[in-house]
Amino acid sequence: MTLDAAKKLVRPVHFVDEEWPYEPRFKRVNGWRMHYLDEGAGDPVVLLHGNPAWGFLYRKFVEPLTAAGRRVIVPDMIGFGLSEKPSANRRTISTVTSQT
Mind listing the pLDDT tens digit for each residue in 1-17? 555 556 666 655 565 66
- Decide if domain 24-98 falls under CATH 3.40.50.2300: no
Q: For residues 70 and 15, which has the higher predicted lDDT (pLDDT)?
A: 70
Q: Where are the domains of the chain?
A: 24-98
Mean pLDDT, residues 59-73: 96
Instruction: Tell me the torsion sign for CA atoms 11, 15, 20, 21.
Output: positive
* Residue 37: C-alpha distances to residues 45, 55, 66 (Å): 11, 8, 12
Taking the complete model, does pTM exceed 0.95, yes or no?
no
